[in-house]
Chain A
Amino acid sequence: MEREVVPWDNPEPLRGPIGVPLVDLLDRVLATGVVISGDLVIAIADVPLVRLSLHALLSSVNERVPAPWADGGPL
């Protein structure tokens, strides 16, 4: 893989979950950003969540397997 272009500036965001490996995504969506205290689930923005998610990753199938839903919608 020479270079992976993350399609966040793609004109069609609905093209779905392609190109971004989950492990790299989690590095960014979990532990970074401006951390402000939320009301409901403050505990999960902390280390335990990161650890849990890593556990899920490691016990899972290979990173390169495509996302398990086909319609491009997450829910």
Chain B
Amino acid sequence: MTELGTEPDPDESALYVFAVCDAPDPRVFDCLPGVAEDQPLRRLRFGDLTAVVQTVRAADFTDEVWQVRMSARDELERYARAHHDVVSAAAASCPTVPLPMATLYRSEERARQALIEETGRFRTALERTAGHSEWGVKVYSAELPEPTPTTAPPVPSRVSPAPEASAVRSRPAPGAGLAYLERKRGVQAQRERRYEDSLRLAETVDAAFQSLAAAGRRLRLHAPQAEGKGHVQVLNATYLVAERRAIELEALTRRLRGATGARIDISGPWVPYSFVGEV
């Protein structure tokens, strides 16, 4: 089925599928560029569902081109936002199941065939997410200075007599090796305590949001570089919340911030991207 090895003809076209919906209002796509500049977004009926699609040049969407595109941040961002804009526009007009970025078919017939085969899963996803939105919750551990050996717990006096300690810097005092080990152990213990605190914090916040949500998922934690210095992300989760309960989210977040002292960011409502697949 996959033909990654074959180079597509420069003029060959492919069909990019953004999302599957009930009955989207065609006007919402009029002003959106999608992922190709020269072709409009359009609707593709299959069974009683509709896919939002766009014809693109196959040569712009080969495996190699995508590998390069995905490693350039600006390009990645352009495509991710273009995809998201179309999905969001569809979702604003009717219940929508987003497809992952870069789902492409060699022809309209191939697309229709694949979509028809998956109709059952689309229906299930539409039912599961009806009347719900997705909300992201990110939690960062309270900022603590990285423990340094010099602020380690006091060393027992039999190991290094305090008054002379600084005078004998150049030569290790008797027992300096043991003191070093104990300092190291202190740092290690502190690190472990902090790690356990983070896990507890994540569990507390997750449990609170789970109690409000119809479903929840943990996403991968973001590396510190993506968030700026000094913030260690301890929870990156996302929840499917009934629209009538969304109003409770803000109060819950405020309460949790007060109880834990942690930075808690919430984002939403999102199109329920994370809850239309195998949950």
A contact set with B: CB distance below 8 Å:
1, 3-11, 13-14, 17, 20-45, 49, 52-64, 67-69, 73-75
Contacts and interface: CB of A to CB of B under 8 A. Distances in A.
A8 B271 contact: yes
B20 to A, nearest CB: 7
A29 B106 contact: no
Contacts of B121: 34
B271 to A, nearest CB: 5
Interface of B: 1-4, 8, 14, 17, 20, 28, 31-33, 35-37, 58, 61-63, 66-67, 70-74, 76-85, 87-89, 91-92, 97-106, 110, 114-115, 118, 121-122, 125, 134, 136, 138, 219-220, 222-223, 225-228, 236, 238, 250, 253, 265-271, 273-274, 276-277
B253 A26 contact: no
Contacts of B17: 38
B159 to A, nearest CB: 43
Tell me if B's interface is mostly helix, strand, loop or mixed: mixed
Contacts of A39: 1-3, 14, 104-106, 110
A8 B19 CA distance: 14
Q: Which 6 A-B pairs have the closest CB atoms?
A: A8-B88, A28-B273, A74-B82, A60-B73, A40-B104, A17-B81
A43 B76 contact: no
Contacts of A74: 33, 35, 78-79, 81-82, 85
A38 B273 contact: no
A73 B79 CA distance: 10
Contacts of B226: 23, 57-58, 63
B137 to A, nearest CB: 11
Contacts, number: 217
A2 to B, nearest CB: 9
28 contacts: A4-B267, A4-B268, A6-B268, A8-B88, A13-B92, A17-B81, A22-B80, A24-B136, A24-B138, A28-B98, A29-B83, A34-B277, A37-B114, A38-B105, A39-B1, A39-B2, A39-B3, A39-B104, A40-B2, A40-B4, A42-B4, A45-B100, A49-B70, A55-B71, A58-B226, A62-B228, A63-B227, A75-B36
